Structure 1
Amino acid sequence: MDAPTQIPTNEYGSYCIPEGLEDRPAARAVLSGKAYEPETLRFMRAHAGDGDVIHAGAFFGDFIPALSSALAPDARLWAFEPNPGNFAAARETVAMNGLKNVALTNAALSNRPGELRFRTRDEAGKSLGGLSHFVTEDGPGVEAVNAAMLDYTVPLERKVSLLQLDVEGHEKQALLGAFHLIHRWQPILILEYFNKPEWIKRSFRGLNYRHVGKLHGNHVFATTDIPI
Protein backbone atom coordinates (compact mmCIF):
# COMPACT_ATOMS: atom_id res chain seq x y z
CA MET A 1 0.00 0.00 0.00
CA ASP A 2 1.20 3.54 -0.73
CA ALA A 3 2.15 5.48 2.40
CA PRO A 4 -0.79 7.39 3.87
CA THR A 5 -0.51 11.16 3.71
CA GLN A 6 -2.85 11.77 6.61
CA ILE A 7 -5.07 9.91 9.06
CA PRO A 8 -8.15 12.17 9.00
CA THR A 9 -11.21 11.80 11.19
CA ASN A 10 -14.88 12.66 11.00
CA GLU A 11 -17.91 11.98 13.19
CA TYR A 12 -17.74 8.24 12.45
CA GLY A 13 -14.06 7.43 12.85
CA SER A 14 -10.53 7.59 11.43
CA TYR A 15 -9.36 6.73 7.92
CA CYS A 16 -6.23 5.69 6.07
CA ILE A 17 -5.94 7.54 2.75
CA PRO A 18 -3.11 6.42 0.41
CA GLU A 19 -0.84 9.06 -1.05
CA GLY A 20 -1.99 10.31 -4.43
CA LEU A 21 -5.72 9.96 -3.82
CA GLU A 22 -6.27 13.25 -2.02
CA ASP A 23 -8.16 14.76 -4.98
CA ARG A 24 -10.81 12.05 -5.14
CA PRO A 25 -14.24 13.23 -3.89
CA ALA A 26 -14.45 10.71 -1.05
CA ALA A 27 -10.94 11.55 0.11
CA ARG A 28 -11.56 15.30 -0.10
CA ALA A 29 -14.68 15.00 2.03
CA VAL A 30 -12.99 12.92 4.71
CA LEU A 31 -9.85 15.06 4.72
CA SER A 32 -12.07 18.07 5.45
CA GLY A 33 -13.63 16.26 8.43
CA LYS A 34 -16.89 15.46 6.67
CA ALA A 35 -18.61 12.24 5.61
CA TYR A 36 -18.76 11.32 1.93
CA GLU A 37 -22.32 10.94 0.60
CA PRO A 38 -23.86 11.78 3.98
CA GLU A 39 -27.44 11.17 2.83
CA THR A 40 -26.55 7.68 1.59
CA LEU A 41 -24.92 6.92 4.92
CA ARG A 42 -27.88 8.33 6.83
CA PHE A 43 -30.28 6.13 4.88
CA MET A 44 -28.15 2.99 5.23
CA ARG A 45 -27.69 3.52 8.96
CA ALA A 46 -31.43 4.05 9.42
CA HIS A 47 -32.36 0.88 7.48
CA ALA A 48 -29.69 -1.55 8.66
CA GLY A 49 -32.23 -3.06 11.05
CA ASP A 50 -31.26 -6.38 12.60
CA GLY A 51 -29.58 -7.80 9.48
CA ASP A 52 -26.21 -7.78 7.79
CA VAL A 53 -25.09 -5.11 5.32
CA ILE A 54 -23.18 -5.83 2.10
CA HIS A 55 -20.97 -2.98 0.89
CA ALA A 56 -19.05 -3.43 -2.37
CA GLY A 57 -16.57 -0.88 -3.59
CA ALA A 58 -15.12 -0.13 -0.16
CA PHE A 59 -12.33 2.17 -1.50
CA PHE A 60 -10.21 3.21 1.54
CA GLY A 61 -13.08 2.43 3.91
CA ASP A 62 -14.88 5.78 3.76
CA PHE A 63 -18.26 4.11 4.51
CA ILE A 64 -17.04 1.38 6.83
CA PRO A 65 -16.95 3.05 10.29
CA ALA A 66 -20.39 4.61 9.79
CA LEU A 67 -21.95 1.33 8.68
CA SER A 68 -20.20 -0.74 11.33
CA SER A 69 -21.50 1.43 14.17
CA ALA A 70 -25.10 1.20 12.90
CA LEU A 71 -25.32 -2.60 12.97
CA ALA A 72 -27.28 -4.68 15.44
CA PRO A 73 -25.14 -6.52 18.04
CA ASP A 74 -24.87 -9.80 16.11
CA ALA A 75 -24.95 -8.35 12.60
CA ARG A 76 -21.99 -8.10 10.25
CA LEU A 77 -20.73 -5.77 7.54
CA TRP A 78 -19.51 -7.68 4.48
CA ALA A 79 -17.21 -5.29 2.59
CA PHE A 80 -15.47 -5.95 -0.74
CA GLU A 81 -12.72 -4.05 -2.54
CA PRO A 82 -10.90 -5.46 -5.61
CA ASN A 83 -8.12 -2.83 -5.90
CA PRO A 84 -5.20 -4.16 -3.80
CA GLY A 85 -4.03 -0.69 -2.75
CA ASN A 86 -7.50 0.43 -1.77
CA PHE A 87 -8.07 -2.85 0.06
CA ALA A 88 -4.90 -2.35 2.11
CA ALA A 89 -6.06 1.15 3.06
CA ALA A 90 -9.54 -0.13 3.99
CA ARG A 91 -7.94 -2.84 6.12
CA GLU A 92 -5.98 -0.14 7.97
CA THR A 93 -9.18 1.87 8.44
CA VAL A 94 -10.86 -1.19 9.97
CA ALA A 95 -7.88 -1.79 12.27
CA MET A 96 -7.52 1.83 13.37
CA ASN A 97 -11.16 1.92 14.45
CA GLY A 98 -11.02 -1.48 16.16
CA LEU A 99 -14.01 -2.76 14.20
CA LYS A 100 -14.87 -6.37 15.05
CA ASN A 101 -18.04 -6.79 12.99
CA VAL A 102 -16.48 -6.20 9.55
CA ALA A 103 -15.57 -8.99 7.11
CA LEU A 104 -13.39 -7.29 4.49
CA THR A 105 -12.47 -9.21 1.33
CA ASN A 106 -10.00 -8.31 -1.44
CA ALA A 107 -12.25 -9.31 -4.34
CA ALA A 108 -14.63 -8.06 -6.98
CA LEU A 109 -18.22 -9.25 -6.94
CA SER A 110 -19.38 -11.18 -9.98
CA ASN A 111 -21.66 -13.98 -11.13
CA ARG A 112 -18.88 -16.56 -11.11
CA PRO A 113 -15.71 -17.08 -9.08
CA GLY A 114 -12.29 -16.74 -10.70
CA GLU A 115 -10.36 -13.70 -11.89
CA LEU A 116 -11.20 -10.41 -13.60
CA ARG A 117 -9.01 -7.76 -15.20
CA PHE A 118 -9.06 -4.50 -13.29
CA ARG A 119 -7.31 -1.24 -14.21
CA THR A 120 -5.90 0.25 -11.01
CA ARG A 121 -3.34 2.74 -12.44
CA ASP A 122 -3.18 5.09 -15.39
CA GLU A 123 -0.53 4.89 -18.10
CA ALA A 124 1.79 7.07 -16.01
CA GLY A 125 1.51 4.64 -13.11
CA LYS A 126 -0.63 6.88 -10.91
CA SER A 127 -3.21 5.10 -8.76
CA LEU A 128 -6.78 5.51 -10.02
CA GLY A 129 -8.22 4.94 -6.56
CA GLY A 130 -12.01 5.08 -6.74
CA LEU A 131 -11.82 5.40 -10.53
CA SER A 132 -10.40 1.90 -10.89
CA HIS A 133 -12.55 -0.10 -13.28
CA PHE A 134 -13.02 -3.45 -15.00
CA VAL A 135 -11.55 -4.02 -18.46
CA THR A 136 -11.54 -6.92 -20.92
CA GLU A 137 -7.91 -6.80 -22.08
CA ASP A 138 -4.48 -6.56 -20.51
CA GLY A 139 -2.57 -3.28 -20.68
CA PRO A 140 -0.80 -0.62 -18.63
CA GLY A 141 -2.10 -0.47 -15.09
CA VAL A 142 -4.22 -3.63 -15.50
CA GLU A 143 -3.97 -6.48 -13.04
CA ALA A 144 -5.88 -9.65 -12.29
CA VAL A 145 -8.14 -9.52 -9.24
CA ASN A 146 -10.11 -12.23 -7.50
CA ALA A 147 -13.83 -12.45 -8.25
CA ALA A 148 -16.34 -13.73 -5.70
CA MET A 149 -20.04 -14.60 -5.75
CA LEU A 150 -22.07 -13.33 -2.83
CA ASP A 151 -24.09 -16.56 -2.81
CA TYR A 152 -20.85 -18.44 -2.06
CA THR A 153 -19.38 -15.84 0.31
CA VAL A 154 -22.21 -14.73 2.59
CA PRO A 155 -23.96 -17.69 4.27
CA LEU A 156 -27.56 -17.95 3.14
CA GLU A 157 -28.78 -18.12 6.75
CA ARG A 158 -27.35 -14.63 7.42
CA LYS A 159 -30.20 -12.14 7.16
CA VAL A 160 -29.22 -9.33 4.76
CA SER A 161 -30.97 -5.97 5.16
CA LEU A 162 -29.01 -3.85 2.67
CA LEU A 163 -26.98 -4.62 -0.45
CA GLN A 164 -25.01 -1.59 -1.68
CA LEU A 165 -22.93 -1.71 -4.86
CA ASP A 166 -20.42 0.78 -6.24
CA VAL A 167 -18.78 -1.63 -8.67
CA GLU A 168 -17.95 0.43 -11.74
CA GLY A 169 -20.36 -1.05 -14.27
CA HIS A 170 -20.29 -4.61 -12.93
CA GLU A 171 -23.67 -4.37 -11.19
CA LYS A 172 -25.53 -6.99 -13.26
CA GLN A 173 -22.90 -9.63 -12.61
CA ALA A 174 -22.68 -8.78 -8.90
CA LEU A 175 -26.48 -8.94 -8.48
CA LEU A 176 -26.78 -12.23 -10.35
CA GLY A 177 -24.08 -13.64 -8.10
CA ALA A 178 -26.38 -12.84 -5.15
CA PHE A 179 -29.47 -14.45 -6.72
CA HIS A 180 -30.29 -16.73 -3.78
CA LEU A 181 -29.49 -14.15 -1.08
CA ILE A 182 -31.72 -11.61 -2.76
CA HIS A 183 -34.58 -14.06 -3.17
CA ARG A 184 -34.38 -15.19 0.44
CA TRP A 185 -33.97 -11.84 2.19
CA GLN A 186 -35.17 -9.22 -0.35
CA PRO A 187 -32.69 -6.60 0.89
CA ILE A 188 -32.90 -2.95 -0.05
CA LEU A 189 -30.64 -2.44 -3.08
CA ILE A 190 -28.51 0.70 -3.31
CA LEU A 191 -26.83 0.83 -6.73
CA GLU A 192 -24.54 3.61 -7.91
CA TYR A 193 -25.51 4.94 -11.37
CA PHE A 194 -27.56 1.80 -12.06
CA ASN A 195 -31.18 2.66 -12.75
CA LYS A 196 -32.51 -0.38 -14.60
CA PRO A 197 -35.85 -1.28 -12.96
CA GLU A 198 -36.99 -3.51 -15.83
CA TRP A 199 -33.80 -5.57 -15.73
CA ILE A 200 -34.13 -5.98 -11.95
CA LYS A 201 -37.80 -6.96 -12.33
CA ARG A 202 -36.96 -9.58 -14.99
CA SER A 203 -33.93 -10.94 -13.12
CA PHE A 204 -35.72 -11.25 -9.77
CA ARG A 205 -39.23 -12.18 -10.82
CA GLY A 206 -41.95 -12.16 -8.22
CA LEU A 207 -40.08 -10.00 -5.69
CA ASN A 208 -41.75 -6.75 -6.74
CA TYR A 209 -38.59 -4.63 -6.60
CA ARG A 210 -39.22 -1.05 -7.64
CA HIS A 211 -37.26 2.18 -7.80
CA VAL A 212 -38.09 4.17 -4.66
CA GLY A 213 -35.65 7.06 -4.87
CA LYS A 214 -32.14 8.35 -5.36
CA LEU A 215 -29.41 9.35 -2.90
CA HIS A 216 -26.49 11.24 -4.43
CA GLY A 217 -25.70 9.02 -7.46
CA ASN A 218 -27.24 5.93 -5.89
CA HIS A 219 -30.53 4.44 -7.08
CA VAL A 220 -32.55 2.72 -4.37
CA PHE A 221 -34.74 -0.30 -5.06
CA ALA A 222 -36.99 -2.01 -2.52
CA THR A 223 -39.88 -4.46 -2.39
CA THR A 224 -41.90 -2.16 -0.12
CA ASP A 225 -42.48 1.58 -0.04
CA ILE A 226 -39.85 3.24 2.13
CA PRO A 227 -39.12 6.94 2.67
CA ILE A 228 -35.91 8.30 1.16
Structure 2
Amino acid sequence: MNNAHMPAPPLLPPPIAPGSILSLDELRGPDRYRTECISRAATQALYLGDHTVLSRILGRYKAYLDTRDRGFAAHVMLDGYWEIWLTQFIARLIAPGMHVADVGANFGYYSLLMADLIGPSGRLLAVEPNPPVVEMLQRTLDLNGFTSRTTVVAAAAGSGEGEGRLLVPPGEPKNATLVGGGAGGDEASRVSVPIHSLDALLADFPRVDFLKIDAEGAEEDIVLGLSETISRWRPRIILEFNPGRCRHPGELLALLRASYPALQCLGFDALVTPVSDADLLDPTNHEDRLLYLDGAASV
Protein backbone atom coordinates (compact mmCIF):
# COMPACT_ATOMS: atom_id res chain seq x y z
CA MET A 1 0.00 0.00 0.00
CA ASN A 2 1.33 3.44 -0.99
CA ASN A 3 1.20 5.86 1.93
CA ALA A 4 2.79 8.74 0.04
CA HIS A 5 -0.47 10.68 -0.23
CA MET A 6 -1.96 9.76 3.13
CA PRO A 7 -2.66 12.82 5.32
CA ALA A 8 -0.40 13.24 8.30
CA PRO A 9 -2.00 12.32 11.63
CA PRO A 10 -3.10 15.32 13.69
CA LEU A 11 -0.55 16.61 16.15
CA LEU A 12 -1.49 15.91 19.72
CA PRO A 13 -0.87 18.57 22.35
CA PRO A 14 2.08 17.81 24.59
CA PRO A 15 1.22 16.07 27.86
CA ILE A 16 1.10 18.06 31.06
CA ALA A 17 3.69 16.98 33.60
CA PRO A 18 2.32 16.04 37.02
CA GLY A 19 2.31 19.07 39.29
CA SER A 20 2.31 21.57 36.41
CA ILE A 21 0.07 24.63 36.48
CA LEU A 22 -2.55 24.85 33.75
CA SER A 23 -1.52 27.73 31.48
CA LEU A 24 -3.94 30.35 30.21
CA ASP A 25 -3.15 29.20 26.67
CA GLU A 26 -4.22 25.66 27.61
CA LEU A 27 -7.39 27.07 29.14
CA ARG A 28 -8.13 29.05 25.97
CA GLY A 29 -7.43 26.05 23.76
CA PRO A 30 -10.02 24.27 21.60
CA ASP A 31 -9.93 20.99 23.51
CA ARG A 32 -12.57 21.25 26.23
CA TYR A 33 -12.08 17.66 27.36
CA ARG A 34 -8.34 18.15 27.84
CA THR A 35 -8.94 21.26 29.94
CA GLU A 36 -11.46 19.42 32.11
CA CYS A 37 -9.08 16.47 32.59
CA ILE A 38 -6.16 18.69 33.57
CA SER A 39 -8.33 20.61 36.02
CA ARG A 40 -9.59 17.41 37.65
CA ALA A 41 -6.08 15.97 37.88
CA ALA A 42 -4.76 19.12 39.57
CA THR A 43 -7.65 19.51 42.02
CA GLN A 44 -6.82 19.39 45.71
CA ALA A 45 -8.89 20.33 48.74
CA LEU A 46 -7.69 20.98 52.29
CA TYR A 47 -10.21 21.25 55.12
CA LEU A 48 -9.34 24.16 57.41
CA GLY A 49 -12.16 23.77 59.92
CA ASP A 50 -15.28 25.86 60.49
CA HIS A 51 -16.88 24.66 57.23
CA THR A 52 -13.99 26.10 55.19
CA VAL A 53 -11.97 24.36 52.49
CA LEU A 54 -8.96 25.68 50.59
CA SER A 55 -9.20 24.23 47.08
CA ARG A 56 -7.13 24.39 43.90
CA ILE A 57 -9.30 25.34 40.92
CA LEU A 58 -8.65 25.45 37.18
CA GLY A 59 -5.24 23.99 37.87
CA ARG A 60 -3.99 27.55 38.62
CA TYR A 61 -5.69 29.21 41.57
CA LYS A 62 -6.41 28.65 45.25
CA ALA A 63 -9.91 29.41 46.52
CA TYR A 64 -11.67 29.38 49.87
CA LEU A 65 -14.99 27.50 49.71
CA ASP A 66 -17.78 26.64 52.11
CA THR A 67 -18.34 22.90 52.63
CA ARG A 68 -22.08 23.52 53.20
CA ASP A 69 -22.48 24.81 49.63
CA ARG A 70 -23.94 21.90 47.66
CA GLY A 71 -24.75 23.70 44.40
CA PHE A 72 -21.33 25.13 43.53
CA ALA A 73 -18.50 24.39 45.97
CA ALA A 74 -19.12 20.63 46.10
CA HIS A 75 -18.58 20.41 42.33
CA VAL A 76 -15.58 22.74 42.18
CA MET A 77 -13.81 20.96 45.05
CA LEU A 78 -13.97 17.68 43.10
CA ASP A 79 -13.70 18.85 39.47
CA GLY A 80 -11.67 22.04 39.73
CA TYR A 81 -13.85 23.89 37.22
CA TRP A 82 -17.38 25.25 36.77
CA GLU A 83 -19.36 25.86 33.57
CA ILE A 84 -16.36 25.14 31.37
CA TRP A 85 -18.06 26.62 28.28
CA LEU A 86 -18.39 30.02 29.97
CA THR A 87 -14.94 29.66 31.55
CA GLN A 88 -13.28 29.13 28.19
CA PHE A 89 -15.34 31.84 26.49
CA ILE A 90 -14.21 34.40 29.08
CA ALA A 91 -10.62 33.18 28.86
CA ARG A 92 -10.65 33.75 25.09
CA LEU A 93 -12.39 37.12 25.30
CA ILE A 94 -10.58 39.05 28.04
CA ALA A 95 -7.16 40.52 27.33
CA PRO A 96 -4.50 42.26 29.47
CA GLY A 97 -5.34 45.82 30.41
CA MET A 98 -9.12 45.43 30.17
CA HIS A 99 -11.50 46.97 32.72
CA VAL A 100 -14.11 44.39 33.68
CA ALA A 101 -16.83 43.58 36.23
CA ASP A 102 -18.07 40.34 37.80
CA VAL A 103 -21.61 41.02 39.04
CA GLY A 104 -22.85 38.22 41.26
CA ALA A 105 -19.29 37.16 41.97
CA ASN A 106 -20.19 34.46 44.53
CA PHE A 107 -16.99 32.84 45.92
CA GLY A 108 -14.88 34.38 43.16
CA TYR A 109 -14.40 31.63 40.58
CA TYR A 110 -14.84 34.00 37.64
CA SER A 111 -13.32 36.93 39.52
CA LEU A 112 -10.09 34.95 39.88
CA LEU A 113 -10.01 34.11 36.20
CA MET A 114 -10.84 37.66 35.11
CA ALA A 115 -8.30 39.22 37.49
CA ASP A 116 -5.60 36.96 36.06
CA LEU A 117 -6.56 37.66 32.45
CA ILE A 118 -6.56 41.46 32.78
CA GLY A 119 -3.08 41.49 34.30
CA PRO A 120 -1.61 44.19 36.55
CA SER A 121 -2.63 46.98 34.14
CA GLY A 122 -6.30 45.98 34.18
CA ARG A 123 -9.03 46.60 36.71
CA LEU A 124 -11.78 44.36 38.10
CA LEU A 125 -14.96 45.24 39.99
CA ALA A 126 -16.41 42.23 41.88
CA VAL A 127 -19.94 42.73 43.25
CA GLU A 128 -21.44 40.23 45.70
CA PRO A 129 -24.19 40.89 48.27
CA ASN A 130 -23.95 37.83 50.58
CA PRO A 131 -21.74 38.92 53.55
CA PRO A 132 -20.06 35.58 54.44
CA VAL A 133 -19.47 34.83 50.77
CA VAL A 134 -17.95 38.29 50.25
CA GLU A 135 -15.50 37.58 53.07
CA MET A 136 -14.30 34.39 51.35
CA LEU A 137 -14.21 36.16 47.97
CA GLN A 138 -11.91 38.86 49.35
CA ARG A 139 -9.67 36.31 51.09
CA THR A 140 -9.38 34.33 47.85
CA LEU A 141 -8.39 37.37 45.79
CA ASP A 142 -5.86 38.36 48.46
CA LEU A 143 -4.36 34.87 48.55
CA ASN A 144 -3.84 34.81 44.79
CA GLY A 145 -2.22 38.24 44.68
CA PHE A 146 -5.01 40.08 42.86
CA THR A 147 -5.94 42.62 45.52
CA SER A 148 -4.31 45.64 43.90
CA ARG A 149 -6.22 45.23 40.62
CA THR A 150 -9.61 44.41 42.19
CA THR A 151 -12.35 46.34 43.98
CA VAL A 152 -14.77 44.15 45.95
CA VAL A 153 -18.17 45.69 46.74
CA ALA A 154 -20.36 43.99 49.36
CA ALA A 155 -23.72 44.95 47.88
CA ALA A 156 -26.37 43.96 45.37
CA ALA A 157 -26.44 45.66 41.99
CA GLY A 158 -29.74 47.29 41.09
CA SER A 159 -31.48 50.16 39.33
CA GLY A 160 -30.46 52.75 41.92
CA GLU A 161 -29.33 53.30 45.49
CA GLY A 162 -31.14 51.70 48.41
CA GLU A 163 -31.40 48.65 50.62
CA GLY A 164 -32.90 45.24 50.06
CA ARG A 165 -33.49 41.85 51.63
CA LEU A 166 -31.40 38.97 50.34
CA LEU A 167 -32.91 35.48 50.58
CA VAL A 168 -30.13 32.88 50.82
CA PRO A 169 -31.35 29.30 50.20
CA PRO A 170 -29.65 26.76 52.53
CA GLY A 171 -26.72 25.12 50.76
CA GLU A 172 -27.18 27.29 47.64
CA PRO A 173 -25.61 30.74 48.20
CA LYS A 174 -25.12 31.14 44.43
CA ASN A 175 -28.93 31.29 44.18
CA ALA A 176 -29.32 34.12 46.71
CA THR A 177 -32.09 36.46 45.54
CA LEU A 178 -33.36 39.91 46.43
CA VAL A 179 -36.91 39.50 47.72
CA GLY A 180 -39.86 41.59 48.84
CA GLY A 181 -41.47 41.52 52.25
CA GLY A 182 -43.91 38.75 51.39
CA ALA A 183 -41.48 36.33 49.74
CA GLY A 184 -40.82 32.84 51.00
CA GLY A 185 -38.11 31.70 53.37
CA ASP A 186 -37.84 32.27 57.10
CA GLU A 187 -36.46 35.51 58.47
CA ALA A 188 -33.18 33.84 59.48
CA SER A 189 -32.42 33.16 55.81
CA ARG A 190 -32.80 36.84 54.87
CA VAL A 191 -30.07 39.44 55.12
CA SER A 192 -30.29 43.21 54.76
CA VAL A 193 -27.90 44.38 52.03
CA PRO A 194 -27.14 47.71 50.36
CA ILE A 195 -28.07 48.18 46.69
CA HIS A 196 -26.03 50.26 44.24
CA SER A 197 -26.35 50.87 40.52
CA LEU A 198 -23.48 49.74 38.34
CA ASP A 199 -23.41 53.22 36.85
CA ALA A 200 -22.45 54.50 40.31
CA LEU A 201 -19.98 51.69 41.03
CA LEU A 202 -18.25 52.10 37.66
CA ALA A 203 -18.31 55.91 37.60
CA ASP A 204 -14.58 56.30 38.24
CA PHE A 205 -13.49 53.60 35.77
CA PRO A 206 -11.65 55.18 32.82
CA ARG A 207 -13.51 52.72 30.59
CA VAL A 208 -15.53 49.51 30.84
CA ASP A 209 -14.76 46.65 28.44
CA PHE A 210 -16.68 43.62 29.75
CA LEU A 211 -19.26 42.63 32.38
CA LYS A 212 -20.47 39.23 33.52
CA ILE A 213 -23.90 39.59 35.16
CA ASP A 214 -25.49 36.64 36.97
CA ALA A 215 -27.85 37.86 39.67
CA GLU A 216 -30.69 35.33 39.95
CA GLY A 217 -33.52 37.44 38.61
CA ALA A 218 -32.20 40.92 39.41
CA GLU A 219 -30.82 41.36 35.88
CA GLU A 220 -33.75 43.57 34.85
CA ASP A 221 -33.01 46.17 37.52
CA ILE A 222 -29.27 45.84 36.98
CA VAL A 223 -29.63 46.74 33.28
CA LEU A 224 -31.74 49.78 34.22
CA GLY A 225 -28.91 50.88 36.52
CA LEU A 226 -26.32 50.35 33.79
CA SER A 227 -27.73 52.67 31.12
CA GLU A 228 -25.06 55.38 31.38
CA THR A 229 -22.23 52.84 31.23
CA ILE A 230 -23.76 51.14 28.19
CA SER A 231 -24.38 54.46 26.45
CA ARG A 232 -20.81 55.60 27.03
CA TRP A 233 -18.74 52.45 26.56
CA ARG A 234 -20.87 49.77 24.86
CA PRO A 235 -19.08 47.07 26.86
CA ARG A 236 -19.40 43.43 25.96
CA ILE A 237 -21.75 41.71 28.39
CA ILE A 238 -22.62 38.17 29.40
CA LEU A 239 -26.08 38.36 30.97
CA GLU A 240 -28.12 35.53 32.43
CA PHE A 241 -31.70 35.70 31.12
CA ASN A 242 -34.79 33.79 32.18
CA PRO A 243 -38.21 35.25 31.24
CA GLY A 244 -39.79 33.52 34.22
CA ARG A 245 -37.75 35.69 36.58
CA CYS A 246 -38.42 39.02 34.81
CA ARG A 247 -41.31 41.38 35.49
CA HIS A 248 -41.37 42.46 31.83
CA PRO A 249 -39.07 40.16 29.82
CA GLY A 250 -40.12 41.55 26.44
CA GLU A 251 -39.37 45.10 27.56
CA LEU A 252 -35.98 44.01 28.85
CA LEU A 253 -35.09 42.49 25.46
CA ALA A 254 -36.26 45.66 23.68
CA LEU A 255 -34.08 47.73 26.02
CA LEU A 256 -31.08 45.53 25.31
CA ARG A 257 -31.62 45.56 21.55
CA ALA A 258 -31.68 49.37 21.55
CA SER A 259 -27.94 49.25 22.26
CA TYR A 260 -27.11 45.72 21.11
CA PRO A 261 -29.30 44.91 18.08
CA ALA A 262 -27.66 41.52 17.49
CA LEU A 263 -28.43 39.54 20.63
CA GLN A 264 -26.61 36.22 20.80
CA CYS A 265 -26.68 33.19 23.10
CA LEU A 266 -23.65 31.37 24.44
CA GLY A 267 -23.90 27.63 23.94
CA PHE A 268 -22.31 24.66 25.68
CA ASP A 269 -19.71 24.61 22.89
CA ALA A 270 -18.40 28.02 24.08
CA LEU A 271 -19.64 29.60 20.84
CA VAL A 272 -22.26 32.32 20.37
CA THR A 273 -25.14 32.23 17.87
CA PRO A 274 -27.88 34.77 17.04
CA VAL A 275 -31.15 34.38 18.91
CA SER A 276 -34.62 35.81 18.33
CA ASP A 277 -36.93 37.39 20.88
CA ALA A 278 -39.51 34.71 20.11
CA ASP A 279 -37.04 31.99 21.07
CA LEU A 280 -35.97 33.80 24.24
CA LEU A 281 -39.59 34.40 25.30
CA ASP A 282 -40.78 30.87 24.52
CA PRO A 283 -42.93 29.97 27.57
CA THR A 284 -42.07 26.26 27.25
CA ASN A 285 -38.35 26.91 27.78
CA HIS A 286 -37.59 27.36 31.47
CA GLU A 287 -33.81 27.17 31.18
CA ASP A 288 -31.49 30.05 32.04
CA ARG A 289 -29.84 31.48 28.93
CA LEU A 290 -26.53 33.30 28.73
CA LEU A 291 -27.01 36.29 26.45
CA TYR A 292 -23.92 37.75 24.83
CA LEU A 293 -24.10 41.45 24.02
CA ASP A 294 -21.49 42.89 21.69
CA GLY A 295 -21.90 46.36 20.24
CA ALA A 296 -19.62 45.44 17.34
CA ALA A 297 -21.72 42.44 16.26
CA SER A 298 -23.69 42.84 13.02
CA VAL A 299 -27.42 42.20 12.83
Please give the range of the TM-score, normalised by the shorter of the 2 chains: 0.7 to 0.9
Displacement of 1:59: 1.0
Give identity over the alignment, percent.
Answer: 21
Name the amino acid aligned to 2:224: L
Larger Rg: 2
* Structure 2 residue aligned with 1:137: 181
Distance across 2 between alignment mates of 1:159 and 1:97: 25
Name the amino acid aligned to 1:190: I
Displacement of 1:127: 4.8
Map 1:139-154; keep pairs closer than 5 Å.
139-140=186-187, 141-154=189-202
Distance across 2 between alignment mates of 1:73 and 1:98: 10
Given that residues 156 and 193 in structure 2 are in contact (C-alpha distance below 8 angstroms), is that contact kept between their aligned partners in structure 1?
A: yes
Given that residues 124 and 149 in structure 2 are in contact (C-alpha distance below 8 angstroms), is that contact kept between their aligned partners in structure 1?
A: yes
Map 1:19-98; keep pairs closer than 5 Å.
19-21=67-69, 23-24=70-71, 26-49=72-95, 50-98=97-145
Residues 98 and 4 of structure 1: is their aligned pair in 2 closer, same or farther, counting only changes over 3 Å? farther
- Extract unaligned runs of 5+ from structure 2: 1-48, 244-248, 269-288
* Residues 175-197 of structure 1 deviation map (CA, whole Å, 9 limit, x = unaligned): 11111111111111111234768
Given that residues 163 and 194 in structure 2 are in contact (C-alpha distance below 8 angstroms), is that contact kept between their aligned partners in structure 1?
A: yes
Residues 220 and 109 of structure 1: is their aligned pair in 2 closer, same or farther, counting only changes over 3 Å? same
Map 1:50-199; keep pairs closer than 5 Å.
50-99=97-146, 100-121=148-169, 126-137=170-181, 139-140=186-187, 141-155=189-203, 157-194=205-242, 199=252
Given that residues 219 and 241 in structure 2 are in contact (C-alpha distance below 8 angstroms), is that contact kept between their aligned partners in structure 1?
A: no
Name the amino acid aligned to 2:143: M
Distance across 1 between alignment mates of 2:119 and 2:62: 21
Distance across 2 between alignment mates of 1:19 and 1:27: 7
Name the amino acid aligned to 1:134: L
* Structure 2 residue aligned with 1:213: 265
Distance across 2 between alignment mates of 1:194 and 1:135: 17
* Structure 2 residue aligned with 1:225: 297
TM-score (norm 1): 0.85
Residues 200 and 160 of structure 1: is their aligned pair in 2 closer, same or farther, counting only changes over 3 Å? farther
Distance across 2 between alignment mates of 1:85 and 1:215: 32
Given that residues 165 and 171 in structure 1 are in contact (C-alpha distance below 8 angstroms), is that contact kept between their aligned partners in structure 2?
A: yes
Given that residues 51 and 158 in structure 1 are in contact (C-alpha distance below 8 angstroms), is that contact kept between their aligned partners in structure 2?
A: no
For residue 118 of structure 1, give the secondary structure of its aligned residue in structure 2: strand
Distance across 1 between alignment mates of 2:209 and 2:160: 23
For residue 192 of structure 1, give the secondary structure of its aligned residue in structure 2: strand
How many residues are aligned here?
A: 218
Distance across 1 between alignment mates of 2:86 and 2:256: 25
Displacement of 1:171: 0.4
Given that residues 68 and 77 in structure 1 are in contact (C-alpha distance below 8 angstroms), is that contact kept between their aligned partners in structure 2?
A: yes
Q: Highest relative contact order (Cα 8 Å, sep 6+), 1 or 2?
A: 1
Residues 62 and 45 of structure 1: is their aligned pair in 2 closer, same or farther, counting only changes over 3 Å? same
For residue 178 of structure 2, give the secondary structure of its aligned residue in structure 1: strand
* Residues 129-166 of structure 1 deviation map (CA, whole Å, 9 limit, x = unaligned): 11211110164211211101111111255221111111
Distance across 1 between alignment mates of 2:196 and 2:145: 26
TM-score (norm 2): 0.66
* Structure 2 residue aligned with 1:5: 52
Moved more, 135-144 or 90-99: 135-144
Given that residues 68 and 102 in structure 1 are in contact (C-alpha distance below 8 angstroms), is that contact kept between their aligned partners in structure 2?
A: yes
Structure 1 vs Structure 2 CA RMSD:
2.3
